[in-house]
Amino acid sequence: MSTLSQYGSGIKSIQTGFVGTNIISIGSGEAAIYVDITVSAVSNISKCLVVFNGSANNTGSVISSYYSFPSNSTFSWIIPTIRVLNSTTIRIMSSTSATAGFVGRWTLVEYN
């Protein structure tokens, strides 16, 4: 098992989590549909990298859609984006207003 100390002092912290929600907020533009996730505070957001390995979709069943591809012909995946919004919030978003929710794993890395 690897630890942060094996990689020197370049990484200050790593946070990970899972999101699976149909509870979304309505915005505009790049964040037409979004969900905000509270994280432990980071010192400097310009020294952070955040990655989302997951999907958004236009069905009402995000969790079940993640585990089995439905035969519903109206189903489609929508590729979401993610960003660090502030020192305690990351935002998963979609510019497509047809998005019904998000599901997947996120990772936030803060560098020294």
pLDDT tens, position by position, 12-42: 999 999 998 777 788 887 778 889 999 999 9
The pTM of the full predicted model, rounded to 2 decimals, is 0.75
Q: In the chain, what's the furthest Cα-to-Cα distance?
A: 50
pLDDT tens, position by position, 51-65: 999 887 765 554 444
Q: Please state whether 33 falls in left (phi above 0), alpha (psi between -120 and 50) or beta.
A: beta
The Cβ of residue 96 has, within 10 Å, a number of other Cβ atoms equal to: 14
